[in-house]
Structure 1
Amino acid sequence: MSDQYGKIISLILQERFGDVVESVANYLFRYGPSTLFHLKKFTEIPVSKIKDSLAVLLKYNLVSTKSKHNTIMYTLLSNKVLLMLRYPKYVKTLKKKFGVEAGMVMEEILQKGYVKHTDLIDAVLLRLSTIGNGIHKNVLEEKIKSLEIANYLINYKIGEDIKVDDKKLTTKVYTVNFDRFHQDMRDELIVQAFENKFDSNAGELIRLFIQQMYVRTEPWAETSNPVPTLEVKDIVKKMNSFPLLLASFDHYITVLDQDTSKFMQKVGEASGGSYQLCMKGIFTVFAWEICEQIVLEKFDSKAARIFRLVKNKSYIEPEQIQKLAMIPAKEAKRLSYQLVEENFFQIQELKKVASASNTGPNKSFVLFHIQFNCLVRTIIEMCYKTLFNVMTRRTHFKFLNKRIIDKKQRIDTILLSMKAQGAAEEQLQDIEEMLTPPEREVLAKIEISLKKLNALEIEIDETLFYLELYLHYQ
């Protein structure tokens, strides 16, 4: 793992758990699986605090354990740490699909690592009561059951021993199935891509094919088993909410079949035929598009033209680049070698074979080419660096405005408490007036700045998700 990746992991853990937990985790990141003895010896942290830190990391499933020669080895699960940036997205997904109650269920579990069934019910009911939502306990039970059935929650059944702060629990507890959320995120990216390229009907058709894929194929298969076209058409008829899609069904099938991404690949001709969905292929296309867009933004349109040319030719000589890209020789050479310096291109040097008539020294020539897996990892490193800069800037911005942000949070807490107690409107207004008009203006500017930084973080994470999916399918 790279140093840049380690910096992000450290920053996430420091923000959420403090310096001591971050120090313990940072040692595990740098030196790999370690014992309590090594952590004590090399971190110079009191053993009691190391144990507390490990308990926290274990509770949130950020560390795994393995017994070796009667000694426990602790290993940091750094990929799980990075997922903490996606927690708001997970909550938003469930609120959209199952309602606000489901979102609160997810928030409780994410905040605590895992939660006993009874504690989860009590905590969510209490939160709902503070916002005036008098949902019945049985209704909440059904919500949780729906999340289990949909596989968003993993259920540790009675009898399984779950270690929490050196105690044993033999009760039903819940934790999060992140993999299920990532399936949703993957599918949504594909649907959005076809909606943007064609229209909402094409996006819906792709959604239905993916939905039927799950009936007969493992969720993370590179290529699905064939999905019958007539089966999908029958679903469109029953839905009765996409009349244009139904009326032009065959046309949409033809358009998607001929799409350059080759996401849908036809197999067989009988009864309208069937289609396989090529997950590996579509995310290869997405990864190339991302790399090309980054070249365009980092350099210019001429560099992007050269990048596309090398991609299409696989191997190409410098002279051919200058000729085919229709860019002046000097500029083409400068851009090409700039792309080499930034690891977008690789150079392969070949020697010309000497002929009988040529007794002079062997000459060599170079070919530009792209090692795509290496390039994707280079882009991922760039994303890590940008993400770290965004997170650091946001932390510093909050530090500079800590006083007024803390004051706003205190006032919001008081208001929420007083509303729950049924305070009069005049009392609430008096509390709100504790913030002066100039302070409200400052807070508005702070909110705008933080929203921009958060939006940028989400955009970077989405790019990372695309590229991680590409590598997953290789």
Structure 2
Amino acid sequence: MTTQEVRLCGLLLQEHFGEVVEKVAIHLLRSGVLNLRALVHETKLPLDLVKKSLCVLVQHGMCTFGPGRRGPGGPVEYQMNSENILHMLRYPRYIYTAKSLYGDTGELIVEEILQRGQMTMSTTVSTVADRLTHNMPEGQSMDYSEVVTAFSRLVETHFLQRCPPMLSAEPSSSGDANSNPPPAVTKPSEPESHPDCYKLPYINITGKGKRRRSDEVEAHKSAAKKAKTDSSEFGDEGIYWKVNFERFHLHFRDQTIISAVACKLDQTSSEIVRTMLRMSEVTTPANAAFTQALSANEIFRSLPSNYNIARQILDQYLTLLVDDPMEFVGKTGDSGGGMFVVNLHRALANLGRATLESVVQERFGSRSARIFRLLLRKRHLEQKQVEDFAMIPAKEAKDMLYTLLSENLVQLQEIPKTPDHAPSRTFYLYTVNQLPTARLLLQHCYKTVGNLIERRQYETKENKRLLEKSQRIEAILASLQATEAEAEQLTEVEEMITAPERQQLESLRHHINKLDSSENQVDETIFLLESYINSTKSK
């Protein structure tokens, strides 16, 4: 792992789980693989805190464990999964996607499972039903069956999957006997190794959600007690569910391709590509270069009913998509009008290339972007050729090339004519290696997100007193409104925050929202670059 990735992982862990978990995880990330005794010794933390930290990390799929180098009889060793830590950046996006696809119920299901790492179906259903009931008018309640339906749909479309069965690890006599996580925690593994990961248990969950008690402590205790008993009561004890990040990422990839087609061509073209992706979203493997091949007739029958496109018009659109230089859609064979596929890897490569070009344009101007695009297209050019093709004066072109070279966005390749490598008898060719440049930009993005998180934490810390005062006043107002207090009392409480303080609060909220928005936008770039880099690995 790079320094920027470790730094970002540390910031995310500290924000979500606190400093102790962060210290344990970062030490594991830097060390690779360690057993419990070594981890306690090197971190100098109490044994109990290290065990609890490991349980939290394993519960959220951020740490794996298994027999060590000494074999089954030796101590259990732990290893971090950095990818799942970085996925915390996208938690708001996962929740929003579930809401847009399956409504408020789907949103709360995904939110609850993300918060706890993994949950049984019965516990999830009862918790979500209680939360929805609490927000309903008095006398109404959410039926469990509606939550079960949303949960089932999330599983059917592979957004949720079963956690694999608990893998036992032999305890050793070297202080690791109690280091195994509790039975509720499972060792993460790939979905392919668990064939029943999308199979719903045959259980009958009936009932309705209940409202929270006024006493929050009692409510919390009863919820925890209920979580322990519900699983055994409904018969799904030991069957835990987690969010399938890979499935969400495939959905994000498809949406990115659809948006790119809409920007490049038009809305109808994007709807055709959306239909093709939807028809093969579950059957196409995650690392496939193409979607499942579809005939024009199949695409025509699957188009939304509100799109009144004639078959002849559809054929014209398909021809236009196949002939487009971006090559989002490809054609295989000509029999029966041909079979059509979405070129997933080609689309990601073109989107990654467009991202690199836009970064160069934003940082160095349109002329530098013209040189960068020229080198991408022509592969290798001498300085004089760059000046001629780009139609830029020699001095300016030289400065721009050296600036790009110093930023590692452009590489210089030497081709000697003679074995002595004499400069006068050597060709100096400028080129752009798209993959290493994408990796470089990805590290810059990690650094940017880390800076944004640190800035947000600084803003919050600097205004801590004002924020606490605002929260106290909001709590007082809420309690007064619940007791139907008079308007004069409410006004008096509201005036406890002065006009300058109110203005400062508004300014702080504006800055925090701007930082959050920037973080989400940078994460979109991170996702696109990661998808492109991963697609090149699977070739």
TM-score (normalised: structure 2): 0.81
Residues 95, 412 of structure 1: CA spacing in aligned structure 2 closer, same or farther, 3 A cutoff? farther
Structure 2 portions without partners, runs of 5+: 170-178, 185-236
User: What is residue 76 of structure 1 aligned with on the other side?
Assistant: 80
Aligned match for 1:122, one of 123, 126, 133: 126
Alpha-carbon deviation of 1:161?
7.4
CA 1:77–1:255: 2 relative to 1, 3 Å: same
C-alpha contact 1:222 1:279 (8 A) present in aligned 2 = yes
CA–CA separation in structure 2 for the residues paired with 1:249 and 1:352: 55
Contact 2:370 2:390 in 1 (8 A): yes
Alignment of 1:26 with 2:26, yes or no, is yes
What code does the residue aligned with 1:152 have? Answer: F
Structure 2 residue aligned with 1:404: 466
For 1:323-402, list aligned pairs within 5 A.
323-353=388-418, 363-402=425-464
Contact 2:130–2:142, Cα closer than 8 Å, also in 1: no
Secondary structure of 1:452's aligned partner: helix
Report the Cα distance in structure 1 between the residues aligned to 2:423 and 2:364, rounded to whole angstroms.
38
AA partner of residue 24 (structure 2): V
2:174 equivalent to 1:167 = no
Show the 5 A alignment for 1:113-152.
113-132=117-136, 134-152=141-159
Measure, in 1, the Cα distance between the counterparts of 2:121 and 2:478.
27
Q: Taking structure 1 as reference, are residues 73 and 193 closer, same or farther at Cα in structure 2, changes over 3 Å only?
A: same
Specify the SS of the correspondent of 2:250.
helix
Give, in whole Å, the separation in 1 of the partners of 2:427 and 2:410. 16
Q: 1:263 aligns with which of 328, 339, 344?
A: 328
Structure 1 Cα separation of the partners of residues 438 and 326 of structure 2: 19
Q: How does 1:58-457 map to 2 (within 5 A)?
A: 58-68=58-68, 69=70, 70-132=74-136, 134-156=141-163, 166-169=181-184, 170-214=237-281, 217-236=284-303, 239-243=304-308, 248-353=313-418, 363-413=425-475, 423=484, 426=487, 434-457=496-519
The residue identity in structure 1 corresponding to 2:261 is: F
Q: What letter is aligned with 1:143?
A: A
Instruction: Show the counterpart of 2:47.
Output: 47
Work out the CA distance in 1 between the residues paired with 2:313 and 2:33. 58
CA shift at 1:219, angstroms? 4.0
Question: Kindly, what percent of the aligned residue pairs are identical?
Answer: 32
- Tell me how far apart the structure 1 counterparts of residues 122 and 82 of structure 2 sit (CA, whole Å): 30
**Do the aligned partners of 1:161 and 1:168 also contact (CA within 8 Å) in 2?**
no
Structure 1 distance, partners of 2:502, 2:76, is: 53
Distance 1:436 1:371, change over 3 A: same
The whole-number CA distance in structure 1 between the counterparts of 2:492 and 2:319 is 65
CA contact (8 A) 1:387 1:457 kept: yes
Does the 8 Å CA contact 2:368/2:400 hold for their aligned counterparts?
yes
Determine helix, strand or coil for the equivalent of 2:61.
Answer: coil
How far apart, CA to CA, are the structure 2 residues paired with 1:120 and 1:432?
Answer: 38
Asked if 1:15 is matched to 2:12, the reply is no
Q: d(CA) in 2 for partners of 1:127 and 1:431?
A: 29
Q: Which has the higher helix share?
A: 1
- Correspondence for 1:357: none
CA positional deviation for 1:5: 1.2
Report the counterpart of residue 37 of structure 2 in structure 1.
37
Partner of 1:408, secondary structure, is helix
Q: Distance in 2 between matches of 1:160 and 1:34?
A: 20
Amino acid at match of 1:140: V
Runs (5+) with no aligned partner, structure 1? 355-359
What value does the CA root-mean-square deviation take over the aligned residues?
2.6
Q: Which has the higher contact order (CA 8 A, sep 6+)?
A: 2
Contact 2:296 2:315 in 1 (8 A): no
Counterpart residue number, 2:220: none
Cα contact 1:64–1:74 (8 A) shared by 2: yes
Matched residue type, 1:282: A
Aligned mates of 1:425, 1:103 — CA distance in 2 = 37
- In structure 1, what residue type is equivalent to 2:450? F
**Count of residue pairs the alignment pairs up:** 465
SS of the aligned residue for 2:158 comes to: coil
In the TM superposition, residue 431 of structure 1 has moved relative to its aligned partner by 5.7
Moved more, 243-252 or 391-400: 243-252
- Contact 2:322-2:329 within 8 A present in 1 as well: yes
